[in-house]
A = this chain, B = another copy of it.
């Protein structure tokens, strides 16, 4: 009935002829603490006079905001959308709301951001694709914020994390290309500043060591996990090692950049060059040619991350842990047998 009001618990108490504390208990339905009939009466009156709880006041008092901060590098990246989606959904089911912020470029800004979030008393942080060396994460640790890393490991084991099994990813890719008959396979790695970049690169080195001379398995580092960095890296690689017959890109965006360059040079995929991505982002099944890639179990990742996060909230001294998720290989049309050239 009432419009946007300032009806407080005290008003309800007055109207119901009870003490504010009783209203508080009744409204929160604290079991066995208030008689059923009184509770019903209080609830009725609360609605009648248009009471609306003030969660900020409650947060202030209880020091519980039930707010999770999700820190994501770039919401326009099609990989992160689904992850944030899964996180937000899982958290909300547990009555947590999600404060979503995008990682600033500047390390000091990142650090300040964490302090701003801590100042808002967020319950904790879910950080996508950040390195544990990040100033941001240092700040989180200093402030004692429960933190879970998503899609990046914590080499120093300072943070709990949920990651893809990159060794398995590489194993799947290399086995596939080998089975097709490829003997010279390049890897366009992610930036070595990134644990994911390093992990896939090292796994690639390990896997290919036994297979032949290093020159047949060149590695070219991309400056970032982006389409344009993929283009740049592809140009360098093709100049350095024009004879490779297959390229494994550290992620799908890099693969798209590689594809741009192959196209502009008239190198056909997969006839002249096989190409494999990583992540199975939305829509890569529709590009030309449909991209062979490795699917990261995104749903599991967000679910597990949310769950791990909640466990950390529930138990401040929960030991750091890493959950490793199994990827699956997705064969499409960007890979094929190598042709003699």
Contact = CB atoms under 8 A, between A and B. Distances in A.
Interface of A: 3-4, 52-57, 59-60, 65, 67, 70, 74-78, 80-82, 84-85, 88-89, 92, 97-102, 115-121, 142-144, 256, 259, 281-284, 286-290
B60 A88 contact: no
Contacts of A119: 52-55
Contacts of A74: 85
Nearest to A74: B85
A54 to B, nearest CB: 7
A316 to B, nearest CB: 10
Contacts of A53: 119
A3 B142 contact: yes
Given A82-B75, A286-B256, A287-B286, A56 B88 contact: no
Contact of A98 (B92, B101, B143, B283): B101
A75 B65 contact: no
A54 B121 contact: yes
Contact of A287 (B80, B82, B287): B287
B88 A4 contact: no
Contact of A102 (B85, B115, B117, B259): B85
Contact of A115 (B52, B75, B120, B259): B52
A97 B78 contact: no
A156 to B, nearest CB: 19
Contacts of A289: 288
A88 B102 contact: yes
Given A53-B119, A97-B99, 19 more contacts: A3-B144, A4-B143, A52-B115, A54-B119, A55-B119, A55-B120, A56-B56, A56-B65, A56-B120, A78-B81, A85-B102, A97-B117, A98-B100, A99-B100, A283-B286, A283-B287, A286-B286, A288-B289, A288-B290
Contacts of A98: 99-101
A92 B103 CA distance: 11
A181 to B, nearest CB: 25
B120 A4 contact: no
Nearest to A285: B287
Contact of A89 (B102, B116, B259, B284): B102
A294 B261 CA distance: 25
B88 A97 contact: no
A280 B261 CA distance: 22
19 contacts: A4-B142, A4-B143, A4-B144, A52-B115, A52-B143, A55-B116, A56-B60, A57-B60, A60-B60, A67-B99, A74-B85, A75-B82, A76-B81, A76-B282, A88-B100, A97-B101, A97-B117, A98-B100, A288-B288
